[in-house]
Amino acid sequence: MKRNLLFMVMAFLVGSTTAPATLQASEAFWHGADIGDSGMAYEDMELIHDAILAGMTDLAATPTGFPTGDMVNDEHRGLRIYDPDKTWDGYTLLNCFTGTGTEKNGNNILIDMDGNIVNEWTFPGMAYLSASKALPGGYLVGSSIEDYMAGGGKLTQLDWYGEVIKQWDTNMHHDHEREGSPCGYFAPSQEPLAFGGKVLVLESNDPPFEETTHICASKRIVDDTIRELSWDGEELFRWEIWKHFDQLGLDEWAEAGIDLGHNYQGPDFMAPMLPEDWSHGNAVAWVGKNKWWDKYRDARFHPDNIIADFRSLNITIIIARHPHPEGKWEEGDIVWQLGPDYSTASDNYKVGQIIGQHMAHMIPKNLPGAGNLLIFDNGGAAGYGALVHGLRGEGGEPLGTWPNTFRMFSRVLEINPLTKQIVWEYKQPKLSKDLNGDGKILGNEKLFFSNLMSGAQRLPNGNTLITEADVGRIFEVTNSGEVVWEYAPTWIDSSQFMGGAVYRAYRVPYWWGPKDLAKGKHHHRKKK
């Protein structure tokens, strides 16, 4: 049952017969940003902490921890909206968890604007662990995993026919990039390399799990690693997040939350066996060519620097690829950061609380909004820290937990990295009434919320392609927020969480396909 969490906590504190006498009042129970300044006894703070935890548990109605967006019913799947006068037409690459059911039965599917399948691929092995991305000439790059217990995914490149033409020995998960395409999607005048050049991969020490407690005091951990490799697989750069723990800005409540070991991937009965997924990186990209470097020579935004985001921490960072010429930082240092503190005490407060974000990247040069950051702010639940800032236990110890932030809708944010102000935002926090009366909730009638996965891509006409992953919905919105294209795959089972999900989607130009397709065999509608 959904409830107003603040009401629940206040009701517990004010109306409960077990609440201490000092809290039997109608006025606010503390003043200021830190409840430790209220003069409240530690045992009373523990009551507040426990009440909020109970409320969050009550909200957790799904296996993913929190409810997700309104599902798209099977009978309403397929092409839902298409206004060819307002869209940027091309092929759309869908990263699905379920095969199409055709002879190829691929789960990486290229469709045209009408939803017709143009091609489909399946990476070799038992699964794939990252976004697949298209390259000019009809190539696809993603991950191939032969044995999960022997290691993560190998970065793998397929041709149009699904043949493996290149593999890198990696332990990759979630994301990767190829030289010439800093964030993995089309931008005018940029030249992604189908052959040669560097690759950027997000990797993990999991599995096999390292027997280490260098971050979490109570159990083993999963550590995120970022590596840059040559075409031949030579390691050019390595960055491990645990070595930069002190730069992340985590307070003592966050550290206490990590030590509990509550953030693990799997069912509750396996919790003692599963490692703490303390950072959970999900996106990596080069900064790429941008105006902040070209015009102002702001070294934080050097094109070689690396953007990464970490869902568990509510943090997005830029990592220095080179030492600062004046000695301000070394290679590998964090030179720009958003989160984890979004309170008014921080310069991050203007964007509001970001929770469990995905696919953070700088919009590439020659696209509308170039130089700004585009971030899918999931909402749901994530973050380590206090549920109310300043809560301490009977011994004065910080009462930290995971997760400590939550929200029941998603946002797509375009942020100026210099001012940390929102330039553009898309959100639909409430379900509108069924305006058509047919039960087919379309466009901005639909609650926009994906607790997990997802992403956003800026298109050349200024529109944004958005993947609402949990519910398997991909849609294109204008700058004013009008939904002008909306699609939900017909072959996936919306009643099954992972079976109904689309991890990420990308729009690519028609001419990125093989030459015979580029001669006009697009299956697309002509504009009026």
Q: Of 222, 215, 224, which is closest to residue 259 (Cα–Cα)?
A: 215
Confidence (pTM): 0.90
In a domain, 273, yes or no: yes
9 lies in some domain: yes
pLDDT in tens, 288-346: 999 999 999 999 999 999 999 999 999 999 999 999 999 999 999 999 999 999 988 88
* Total residue length of the chain: 528
Number of other CB atoms surrounding residue 213 within 10 Å: 14
pLDDT over 80 (residue 151): no
Question: Do 155 and 141 meet the contact criterion of CB atoms below 8 Å apart?
Answer: yes
More confident: 6 or 464: 464
Would 420 be classed as within a structural domain? yes
Band (444; pLDDT cuts 50, 70, 90): confident
Lowest mean pLDDT among 374-378, 476-480, 492-496: 492-496
More confident residue, 68 or 384: 384
pLDDT given at position 372: 98
Q: What is the pLDDT of residue 432?
A: 62
Decide: residue 27, CB within 10 A, 0-12 exposed, 13-18 middle, 19+ buried: exposed
Residue 219 lies in a domain: yes
Confidence of residue 262 (pLDDT cuts 50, 70, 90): confident
Is 528 part of any domain? Answer: no
Confidence of residue 33 (pLDDT cuts 50, 70, 90): confident
Indicate the SS3 state at residue 255: helix
The alpha-helical segments, DSSP class H, found in 388-514 are none
Over 149-218, what HEC string results? HHCCEEEEEECCCCCEEEEEEEEEEEEEEECCECCCCCCCCCCCCCCCCCEEEEEECCCCCCCCCCCCCC
* Residue 207 Cα to chain centre, angstroms: 22
Q: Quick one: pLDDT band at residue 494, thresholds 50, 70, 90?
A: low
Question: What is the extent of the structural domain holding 200?
Answer: 5-518
Taking only the tens place, the pLDDT of each residue in 363-421 is 999 999 999 999 999 998 899 999 998 999 988 999 999 999 988 899 999 999 999 99
Q: Is residue 527 part of a domain?
A: no
Question: What mean pLDDT comes out for the span 123-133?
Answer: 79
CA distances in angstroms from 339 to 143, 333, 342, 363, 429, listed in the order given: 29, 16, 6, 20, 22
Joined together, the tokens standing for residue 167 give 């593999």
Neighbour tally for 69: CB within 10 Å: 22
Number of structural domains in the chain: 1
Give the whole-angstrom CA distance, residue 361 versus residue 307.
6
The pLDDT-based confidence of 272 (bands split at 50, 70, 90) is confident
Is the pLDDT at 23 greater than 50, yes or no?
no
> Which residue in 318, 319, 320, 343 sits closest to 251, CA to CA?
343
Under 8 Å CB-to-CB from 511, ≥6 apart: which residues?
A: 136, 518
